[in-house]
Amino acid sequence: MQHAKVVERFEEFLKGRNLKLTSQRRRLLDRVFATHEHFSAEQLYSWLRGEPGDPVSRATVYRTLSLLTEGGFLATLDAGRGELIYEHVLGHEHHDHILCLGCGRIEEFHDEVIEELQRRACEAKGFVLVSHDLRLRGYCKTCQRRQPASKASDRTAT
- CATH 1.10.10.10 residue ranges of the chain are 1-92
Q: HSE of 112 in the Cβ direction (CA atoms, 13 Å)?
A: 0
pLDDT of residue 5: 93
Ramachandran sector of residue 83 (left: φ over 0; alpha: ψ -120 to 50; beta: rest): beta
| Fold that domain 1-92 belongs to in CATH | Arc Repressor Mutant, subunit A (1.10.10)
Strands (E), 58-110: 74-78, 84-88, 96-100, 106-109
Q: How far apart are CA 107 and CA 31, in angstroms?
A: 21
Question: CATH 3.40.718.10: does it fit domain 94-158?
Answer: no
Stated pTM of the model: 0.75
Q: At what angle do helices 41-49 and 23-34 cross, to 10 degrees?
A: 110
Query: How would you write the pLDDT of the chain (158 residues) with one tens digit per residue?
Result: 798 999 999 999 999 999 999 999 999 999 999 988 889 999 999 999 999 988 999 999 999 999 999 999 998 888 777 889 899 887 777 888 888 888 888 888 889 999 899 999 999 999 998 888 888 888 999 999 887 654 544 555 55
Ramachandran sector of residue 129 (left: φ over 0; alpha: ψ -120 to 50; beta: rest): beta
- CATH 3.30.1490.190 residue ranges of the chain are 94-158
pLDDT of residue 148: 65
Q: How far apart are CA 156 and CA 136, in angstroms?
A: 13
Q: How far apart are CA 122 and CA 86, in angstroms?
A: 27
